[in-house]
Structure 1
């Protein structure tokens, strides 16, 4: 493709030189020289454009890595600073309220974030949001280093990061569509499905790294002999917070390599116009069977899967196996490692014919695997189930994002993505509360049938009453139409 572009430019210059002639001596030579100069300039400009486009996808993946590395650190540090004996040493209610401060802004501002992501320059927005997220982490590091950490400071941190995250999510997720589109224009074989899969891989890998790194905050970990037997930690919390802030700031630097994003021009301004845009986004989701089904599925995942993940698994870890924070770390790392492995496998296949079918099968296998927890099984078998759950989650996240990115109208992409994410994020707190009440009522064994049964019913509805099971991936369709 790139050679064809260069040849076309050269041919245009040659044609220009051959087609134009003049009876005045020397003018033909001058025209030919001018055409040659034009061809050289166009050739240089085309090469520069291709280099800029090619660097965009790696830069986007680095932006993804920086955010989720910091997110993995936060998953460990946030509860550790609130409940840890060396810091605030507060109870479960305080942790619950702090987590609410962290998650509530995402639910409140996510739809507005979708509107802003469409109207603003995506590149500039990512730079600003990364710096805004880095500031509270660095200020928290300063407070910890001076011995001035307080619970109100943690609440302010949670509200700030939660609000920034609500605007970051649609902005970051919608840009991958444009990056892949520009890359395909210069002859790259990267499809939207592959671009989303690579972004998902980067997310999982970065979260695993952040979780592992954050686990060194309170104790020294000895490596096995085959790795050299060296020890790591404990790393002071202020150093890890500093690392979190600097990682986010690096994300702003990587965003500089992105091209200026697509901006949707709106006829109005202010709250009324924003609400009108949000209503248009809901209409787009409701009028498309695939988008509506994906949003409903994510709401179910939030209730049954994430609710069980946040509540049931930690209770099983504590009450059945007697582990503490180290067991939770092993659970999280095992889960995200499974998600990363399935994402790597998916990246091999650029065009999957039945994306929806693969998604629903993975959801079914992952949801029913938890039924094995109804019996007392060894801890290694428990971690194997968590790994299978992670495998299913990796497929589910990559395929559902690909389906939504592909089906959404390009001029409403960020709004549709924010509504899709809202289904997931609104279901998660409700699911956590429901699962918490049910696990107290039924115990950690029998509760497994609730998420498995709930997801099975939802998947059967998706199979028989939505187009997801029989849909074909657009990349596969386009490829076979060309053949």
Structure 2
């Protein structure tokens, strides 16, 4: 058992007092005792720091899980409460406007969120944002429980969560870089690529859990006979909303174990300083070929992939296969399961030499698989395509985040991440509108050529006109240089 530093100092002092024979020897012994005490204290402090740093990565992953489990619940409960006959029973236009309230603030405030994430202490910011996100979920739970839920309340909820999310994304995603750095200083072998992959895995598994739990809202779900045929639910919607709020509040508790984040001391003040910092972030993205290419790729993914995901797949599910909400749930879970599986496989490899090449190959294979939907295929074949799509998404998210985190200047990391994410967020609404218009014109089967063709064209441009195809991961380069 390790002795306290005070008792060690006492023992050293007693031994020194017995051995003193002259003033000179006494000084020598005192210096020796002081050096020994300093060494012991330094060793004890180093062990304590090492324990704290090792706790930090699991705590960060739990913060990630809390947000995305709540997000998974929201993906089910938000449209359910608006369209369900027993609650608000609104039409598709009302749902669309509510979704705009949910996603619009992210586009508006995301760049400002990147500036705030750099200037604020990331730990305190995450705690505050999780508590701010928990409040509207708990308020909705109270409205549903009392039977006083209104459509304006749902709009207010969407605006609040959307605004909090715009500040949450750059704050949460930039901290993983610092966590990995601090862990590396105490001898850990966790690379930035592995840290991002673990965070992506946590995101997917938590989101799947939230989707599954949300599917039991006010409805009994019977398991298949091979699972025993038992039933789960119904779980009242207000209880699920309370769970959503409680899970978000837990994220604030988990964030207490994070280290204090680095803060950027900006020379600019107020709104003008914020806009100057945003412009500086855009300059950093434009001046780096890898950052610019990743942002352009995310814009294309928002248009062609997310647009098809939000519009085309639900219509295929309804018009081609005749399924309702249960089919949409199965589709979402299948997609995110694919993303989780690919993330687990990626976590085995700490250092991937050609991250960009792996990313583009995965996107190409997923785009080709979408073309199969142009011909009649059974439902299991449709879900297989969705699973392959999810596999590619897991690789794309993990590799693109790793590339951006690696290439971005550390003092501008949160701003660069917010610009990169803005490419995705800005492309998604435009893609949803485009796919919605085209699917009405050409039908759900033939429209598959649009997202597939758009992504393949974008990938060819990435291969020949950007450095992404030939780039090498920094973790692999550092390891090869040591070897």
TM-score (norm 1): 0.95
Structure-1 residue corresponding to 2:120: 120
- Deviations along 1:140-167, one digit per CA (max 9) or x if unpaired, are 0000000000000000000000000000
What's the CA shift for 1:31? 2.4
Structure 1 residue 40 displacement after superposition:
1.3
Q: CA deviation at 1:23?
A: 4.8
Are the aligned partners of 1:82 and 1:95 in contact in 2 as well (CA < 8 Å)?
yes
**2:62 paired residue number:** 62
Aligned to 2:189: 189
Match of 2:333 in 1: 333
Contact map agreement 1:356 1:399 (CA 8 A) in 2 = yes
Aligned residue for 2:85, secondary structure, equals coil
Q: Secondary structure at the match of 2:445?
A: helix
SS of match in other structure, 1:448: helix
Could you tell me which residue of structure 2 aligns to residue 393 of structure 1?
Answer: 393
Residue equivalent to 2:35 = 35
Match status 1:455 vs 2:476: no
Give deviations 1:347-387, integer Å, cap 9, x for gaps.
Answer: 00000000000000001111121111101110000000000
Query: How far 1:275 sits from its partner (Å)?
Result: 0.3
Map of 1:220 onto structure 2:
220
Counterparts of 2:22 and 2:465, CA distance in 1: 72
Contact 1:285/1:291, CA 8 A, preserved across alignment: yes
Residue equivalent to 1:3: none
Could you list the per-position Cα deviations for residues 247-292 of structure 1 after superposition, in whole angstroms to 9, with x for gaps in the alignment? 0000000000000001000112101000000000000000000000
Q: Deviation per CA, 1:54-97, whole angstroms, max 9, x where unpaired? A: 11100000000000000000000000000011100110000000
Q: 1:273 maps to what in 2? A: 273
Contact 1:217 1:235 survives alignment (8 Å): yes
Deviation string 1:154-204 (CA, Å, 9 cap, x unpaired) is: 000000000000000000000000000000011000000000000000000
**Alignment gaps of 5+ in structure 1:** 1-12
Retained in 1: the 8 A contact 2:268–2:276? no
* 2:8 paired residue number: none
Deviation at residue 222 of structure 1 after TM alignment = 1.8
Structure 2 Cα separation of the partners of residues 267 and 357 of structure 1: 39
Partner of residue 372, structure 1: 372
Moved more, 322-331 or 24-33: 24-33
TM-score (norm 2): 0.95
* C-alpha distance after superposition, 1:16-45 (max 9, x if no partner): x9xxx9853433333222222211111110
Return the alpha-carbon distance in structure 2 between the equivalents of residues 438 and 25 of structure 1: 92
Q: For the residues of structure 2 that align with 1:254 and 1:106, how far apart are their CA atoms?
A: 24
Residue 6 (structure 2) aligns with? none
* Aligned-partner Cα distance in 1 for 2:24–2:225: 85
Displacement of 1:393 in angstroms is 0.4
Match of 2:465 in 1: 465
**Distance between the aligned counterparts of 1:22 and 1:400, measured in 2?**
69
Aligned ranges for residues 413-432 of structure 1 at < 5 Å?
Answer: 413-432=413-432
| Contact 1:360 1:469 (C-alpha < 8 Å) held by counterparts | yes
- 2:383 and 2:367 map into 1 onto residues whose CA distance is 15
Equivalent residue runs for 1:311-350 within 5 Å = 311-350=311-350
2:109 corresponding residue in structure 1? 109
Q: CA deviation at 1:226?
A: 4.5
Q: Is the 8 A contact 1:117 1:170 kept in 2?
A: yes
1:285 paired residue number: 285
What is the Cα-based RMSD across aligned positions, in Å?
1.3
Distance in 2 separating the partners of 1:246 and 1:411:
34
Matches within 5 A, 1:402-421: 402-421=402-421
State the distance in 2 between where 1:423 and 1:31 align.
Answer: 61
CA–CA distance in structure 1, aligned partners of residues 475 and 436 of structure 2: 42
Pick closer, same or farther for the CA change 1:234–1:22 going to 2, 3 Å.
Answer: farther
Distance 1:320 1:119 in 2: 51
Check conservation: 1:197, 1:398, Cα contact below 8 A. Answer: yes
| Residue equivalent to 1:100 | 100
Instruction: Name the SS of the counterpart of 2:90 in structure 1.
Output: coil
Q: Does 1:87 align with 2:113?
A: no
| Corresponding residue of 1:231 | 231
Query: Contact 1:304/1:455 (CA < 8 Å) preserved in 2?
Result: yes
| Match in the other structure for 1:4 | none
2:375, 2:223 → 1: CA distance?
Answer: 32
| Distance (whole Å) between structure 2 residues aligned to residue 433 and residue 475 of structure 1 | 40
- What residue in structure 2 maps to residue 7 of structure 1? none
User: How far apart, CA to CA, are the structure 2 residues paired with 1:404 and 1:145?
Assistant: 44
Partners in 2 of 1:409 and 1:36 — Cα distance? Answer: 41
Contact 1:294 1:400 in 2 (8 A): yes
Supply the distance in 2 between the matched residues of 1:331 and 1:224 (Cα, whole angstroms). 17
- Conserved? CA contact 1:22–1:28, under 8 Å: no
**What are structure 2's unaligned runs of at least 5 residues?**
1-11
Q: Distance in 2 between the 1:406 and 1:66 partners?
A: 26
2:204 is matched with 204
Residue pair 1:343, 1:394 contacting (<8 A) in 2 also: yes
Give, in angstroms, the shift of residue 453 of structure 1.
Answer: 0.4
Q: Name the structure 1 match of 2:171.
A: 171
Aligned partners of 1:443, 1:228: CA distance in 2, in Å? 39
